[in-house]
Each structure stands twice: as C-alpha cells, then as structure tokens.
Amino acid sequence: MVHGNTGRKLVVSVDIGTTFTATSFCILQRGKVPKFEEILRWPKQGCHATPDAKVPSIVYYDKDGKARAFGAEVEDEEIILQAESENWHKVEWWKLQLRPDHLPIINGLSLPILPEGLTVEKIFTDFLRYTMEQVKAYITATYGDGAKIWDALFPAMYVVLTTPNGWEGGQQNKMRQAAITAGIVDAEGGRRVRFVTEAEVRPCYMLLNAVV
C-alpha cells in the first residue's frame, strides 16, 4: 500500500508501554530496502549516557494539569527538585487505565489513581505528541535538509501504535483520537493510524534486523 507511492513515505512506530516507551521511524522509498531507525537520544538522557531506545512512560503534571516533563526528564535532579517544590503530580502506570474492563490487572498491582481533572486520553495525547516531537527533532538534526524532509513527509505520515494483546476496537479508537488531538494526523488522516499487538512486534523487529 505505502510502497505504491512513487515518492517517499514516512512511517513512525510508537510503542508506549506501561512502563517504558520506544519510537522508531522509516522513510520508505520505492526501490530501496526499508530501514527502521530507533530514536536513541531523548531529552535529559545526558550527552555522555549510553544510547538507549527506551524512556520511562512517566509524565509530571503541574497543579494546573499541564504536562511539564516526560520520559528521561523525570529522572533529572533539577526537574525532581522543581517537581517537589511546586507539587507536581508524577503519573505512571497510567496506560492501565485504557485497558478493557474484562482484562485483569497484574496480581498485586493497584490501578493508579489519576489526579483530579486528568484523563488517560489526555495523558496518551500528551505523551504521543512528545514522542513525535523527538522524531521530528532527530530527522531535522540528522538528515541533510531534514526540516524540508519532515515538512514534506509529515502531512501524509503513517503512524503505527502498539497495543497489548486483548485490546479491542474501543481502545484503538481512543488511541487514534489521541493522535488526532495531538495534531499528528488530522481527522481525515485517522485511517493512517494503524495498530499492531505486542505479540506481533517482536517477530517484525527480528525480521527487520535480520535475526530470523
């Protein structure tokens, strides 16, 4: 489907897990072998830190419900001090709020209580917007004419989101709406948001990396 276009297409894969998040992308071009690139540098990981594709799926929200820090930023000492002094809310394990009612919670784990006025849909929207900002920053900084490449490919970009096994259409609809609300795709472009289960991700990853 995407390969049928004579021009280039941008595909971004976002795996927002319960505890960690990872993101990769691929610029598809006819006649060339697809190559996915992982985002290995995230804000506040530190310039000398070992490259890591995963960051915590954690967000700090201030008392007004505004997202103030994401991912590795929540582990930064200055941000931790600011969060304590300004009484920010640390939101983690929030993705469990999206799960279907019929799926049990992990034994011994309590469903996290979100701060008043904050919904899981808003958190997902904010985190999805944050991850896409990192993809944009990577492409614009790494590729020659990166800003032009992003501007040209972003409007028709395909987004692949992972879902836990057992999640259904209701959860996918909320995730798709989050992508629209985040400005990643417009309402008409909602069809460009696709889903794969976590069980499907590993075989695809292994295949792309020539492990199997």
> In 10 A of CB 99, how many CB atoms?
19
Query: Average model confidence (pLDDT) for the chain?
Result: 86
**Number of helical H runs and strand E runs in the chain:** 5, 9
Determine how β-strand 158-163 pairs with β-strand 9-16: parallel
**Are 128 and 16 contacting, i.e. CB atoms less than 8 angstroms apart?**
yes
* 61: pLDDT strictly greater than 70: yes
Determine how β-strand 158-163 pairs with β-strand 89-91: unpaired
**Are 112 and 92 contacting, i.e. CB atoms less than 8 angstroms apart?**
yes
The pLDDT, as a whole number, for residue 129 is 98
For residue 70, which amino acid is it?
F
| 147-192 confidence digits (pLDDT tens) | 999 999 999 999 999 998 888 889 999 999 999 999 999 999 999 9
Domains of the chain: 2-55+98-104+115-208 (3.30.420.40)
